[in-house]
Chain A
Amino acid sequence: MSRAGTKLDSKKVFCMKNILRYDENLYIINSELFTLTYGALVAQLLKDYENVEDVNKQLERMGYNMGIRLIEDFLARTGSGRCYDFRDTAEKIQTGFKIFLGITPTITNWSAAGDEFSLCFEANPLTEFVELPDHCLNLKYCNVLIGVLRGACEMVQMEIACWFVQDQLKNDNVTELRIKFIKRLEDAIPAGED
């Protein structure tokens, strides 16, 4: 652990503790402000970009930025250590959803090799009040989640890929998010630090 990232990390954790102490009872907020703010953001992106694919990409990028910071919050709050195996990871991701979005997706459809699973969402605060107009059928409305998961896992040295298999907004019964383990990142230097 001699890498340059150590110092920065401890500083960030310190900030997070400050927020916790400062804010214990305001830590949870009404989901509607979050839902509507996200909706306004997506609407703005659709206005700014001509192409729905670009909106998807931008949402994922934003999610990634959120994920790399959210993982610290997760670790500070749960005090959980390194994942033992990918099943362990799946459970921790589930816990993450519980803590941050107040929902518990179910873990299903494990691949035989144990490197792929699905998270199924019955309800999702991001999509409340949302109806996709016909010209947005290619929009991956919740793509921010994919970015968050990718960013968060990368910070704990795991490369994963994820994508939506089913989407309630596209009239499926559940929203299914597929997550696949790609590889362990060995002692990576945090992005942006050389």
Chain B
Amino acid sequence: MTSITISAVRTRTSILDKSLSKGKGEVSLSCFALLFSELVQYCQNRVYTVPELQNKLAEIGTEVGHKITDLLVVREKAGKREIKLLNILLFIKSTVWKSLFGREADKLEHANDDERTYYIIEKEALVNKFISVPKDKGSLNCASFIAGIVEAILCDCGFQAKVTAHWHKGTTYMVKFDDAVVARDKQLEDR
């Protein structure tokens, strides 16, 4: 049976025609760990220094972050973004962490000496679990990838910030907001 071709182009179903997944799919951790390790090795082959490597990982994390923002805001927040600084941080600590890693981040802290700085602390970061850091690259922290994700989410929601990963009480993500963001948040509070 031959079908009659009417048009040379087949209609493509757009991704927007599909309904949003519930996010219940599961894959094995080994898959992710091996994929991530390939990602790290790939980046490593294209850079010379540890900071460069971390930047590259963060950059790729940013790509992931942009997608996650939209996904979670639509799915978990019924399309409403947070506008308060503390709320967006809590959103990241609980909702984002839960959907990515299956549990909340361990702690959220505010720096005593600097009102712009917050810390998200995680005893054991998923991405660091299987990475053995070579001795000559002691400072390497692959959680930069996750720092990139967090930074993208914050920036996409209108909270310009710089997020970096550090070895401190496990893994600590240091969130440094722009002055303007803190000032705006104060204004909101005053009202």
Contact = CB atoms under 8 A, between A and B. Distances in A.
B27 A29 contact: yes
B12 A29 contact: no
B29 A70 contact: no
Interface string A99-133: 11110000000000000000000000100111100
A131 B25 contact: no
Interface in B48-97: 59-61, 63-64, 67-68, 71
Given A40-B60, A62-B38, A70-B34, A34 B67 contact: no
Contacts of A28: 26-29
B167 interface: no
Contacts of A125: 25, 27
Contacts of A131: 14-15
B168 to A, nearest CB: 22
B34 A30 contact: no
A70 B68 CA distance: 27
Interface string A23-47: 1001111111111111111011000
A37 B59 CA distance: 12
Q: Which of B10, B41, B63 has the most CB of A within 10 A?
A: B63
Interface string A65-106: 110011001000000000000000000000000011110000
Contact of A128 (B21, B39, B46): B21
A185 interface: no
Q: Which of A41, A69, A70 has the most CB of B within 10 A?
A: A41
Contacts of B63: 36, 39-40, 43-44
A48 interface: yes
A4 interface: no
Nearest to B11: A171
A32 B100 contact: yes
A33 B101 CA distance: 8
Q: Is the interface of B mostly helix, strand, loop or mixed?
A: helix
Contacts of B129: 23
Contact count band on A: 35 or more
A70 B99 CA distance: 25
Nearest to B13: A171
B30 interface: yes
B105 to A, nearest CB: 14
A26 B36 CA distance: 16
Q: Which of A37, A73, A171 has the most CB of B within 10 A?
A: A37
Contacts of B100: 30, 32-33
Contact of B31 (A36, A44, A70, A171): A70
Interface of B: 10, 12-15, 21, 23, 25-32, 34-36, 38-39, 41-42, 46, 59-61, 63-64, 67-68, 71, 99-102, 126, 129-130
Interface of A: 19, 23, 26-41, 43-44, 48, 58, 62, 65-66, 69-70, 73, 99-102, 125, 128-131, 144, 171
